[in-house]
Each structure stands twice: as structure tokens, then as C-alpha cells.
Amino acid sequence: MHPNVERVAAVLREQGAAGEIIELPEPAPTARAAAEQIGCPVGAIANSLVFDADGEPLLVLTSGAHRVDTAKVAALVGAAKVKRATPEFVREATGQAIGGVAPVGHPAPVRTLVDVWLDKYDQVWAAGGIAHTVFPTSYEELLRITGGEAADVGVETT
């Protein structure tokens, strides 16, 4: 098992999460790719997007059917500017690479916003630490295991 997946699985166990990490047949670097392999609506994919908020990492768990509105997020978190993080910034903040960033298992806590649209689904799927691993969870469980804040972060794209 990849070390990132082991870290995420350990946190899930420690937090009493219900779901277990599964490996997909193919990498799933996008919400659409993950949804197709899982057989769920794209909106039930909890995309883990890392942003640079005035130099601090910010993890936004958004519905795969959403595009994050960075101006709205900046206002929510009190940042002057929120921009997509570079791959290096993401890896430094999370220990994971873009396309497989899990909501947990990072070297240090990362402020997290959880898209309220994910609450529309009984089950949502989040990345497990690398691009072809995911785990089932719920909106409420995501809030609990990440210590995240519920937020309206974007606009619907699908």
C-alpha cells in the first residue's frame, strides 16, 4: 500500500470513519473520471482542491458538479486573495499530489471548507491519497473528520 494511502487509512480508522479506501481500476484525476468508475453522479465526488489563501493552504472539498468561486471563498475566509495552488505548494501542504489529495492525512492540519452541495447526496466519494484511490463517506462525516467548515463555495457546472 502506498504510504499516502496508509496515512489516510490510519486517520480514517482513528476518526471512526465508516468507509474504507478502495483502489480504482484506473487513475481518476478528475471528478468525472472517478464518477464513471464508481458509478455515481459526478456531484457526489468530493473534489479536494488546494488553494493558496494569502500564502496559507486552504483545502476546499467541493462537489464534482461545482467550480469554486475564488472571490466568494476569499470573502468567506477573510483572505485578500485566493488562487489555485501550485503542485509544489499542494505537496508541501498535504504531502500528496494533485489528483489524489485526500481530505485527511496531511503533515499538519489544513483549514478546510466543505461544500454544502455535498449534503445533497447520502454517500459521497473522496480521494484516498493517490489518484486511483477513493473512499465512501457522507457530508456530515467529512465535516467531522476534517474539522471543516460548511460553506457555499461555488457555482454549478453540470
pLDDT digits (tens, 9 = 90+) for 26-40: 888 788 999 999 999
Average pLDDT over residues 80-87: 97
DSSP 1-57: --HHHHHHHHHHHHTT-S---EE-SS---SHHHHHHHHTS-GGGEEEEEEEEETTEE
Distance between alpha carbon 42 and the CA centroid of its chain, in Å?
14
The string of pLDDT tens digits covering residues 138-147 is 999 999 999 9
pLDDT of residue 30: 83
Q: Which segments within 64-152 are labelled E, that is strand?
A: 66-68, 82-84, 111-115, 124-127, 133-137, 149-151
Residue found by looking up cell 503533515 in the block? 107
Positive or negative: CA dihedral 84, 86, 90, 92: negative
For residue 155, the model assigns a pLDDT of 73
Dist CA 84 CA 68 (whole Å): 10
